[in-house]
Amino acid sequence: MSVQTPRQDYMGEQAAAYRYDDYERGYGWIVFAATMLGILAVMNVIEGIAAISRSHFFVGNAHYVFGDLKAWGWVTLLLGVALGFAAVGILAKNQLARWVGVAVAGLNAIAQLMFIEAYPFWSLALFALDVLVIYGLVAYGTRTA
């Protein structure tokens, strides 16, 4: 026969409640990050198609680190497709997709900074969204018990 003190029982319930609350808070960030990845995917696909077709709303005579507007259009288009696949995988609760999402969002952040000559404020806005996505996926993307 074992005797359990009320203190041990209370602490067990409190720890379980804390784990549940922490999971719920983290789940919101994961859904936010996956949604933002999906939005970034659509924006990058549109931006990539516009750059490939040499649309007139980009800054004219911009000098890029390497390549030209059409090359960066292909880069952003491919990154947009990868971001879309990562978003779907994250919503399916795949841990590999979460890490792929972190990697692709990091690459997209770098690409947006290199694409800044063509569309400065838009590139900075997408860079900020990439940073939020990376934070959400890294800080709150733990395995569920």
Number of C-beta neighbours around residue 120 at 10 A: 12
Q: Which domain holds residue 95?
A: 41-53+67-145
Q: Is residue 21 part of a domain?
A: no
Q: Is residue 78 part of a domain?
A: yes
Q: Is residue 1 part of a domain?
A: no
Q: Which parts of the chain have pLDDT scores under 50?
A: 145
pTM metric for this prediction: 0.75
Query: How many domains would you assign to the chain?
Result: 1
> Which pLDDT value is given to residue 145?
47
Number of H helices and E strands in the chain, helices first, is 4, 0
pLDDT tens-place string over residues 5-30: 555 555 555 555 555 555 566 788 88
Those residues whose C-beta lies under 8 Å from the C-beta of residue 37, and which sit 6 or more positions away, are: 83, 84, 86, 87, 90, 101, 104, 105, 133
> Which pLDDT value is given to residue 135?
92
> Which pLDDT value is given to residue 143?
56
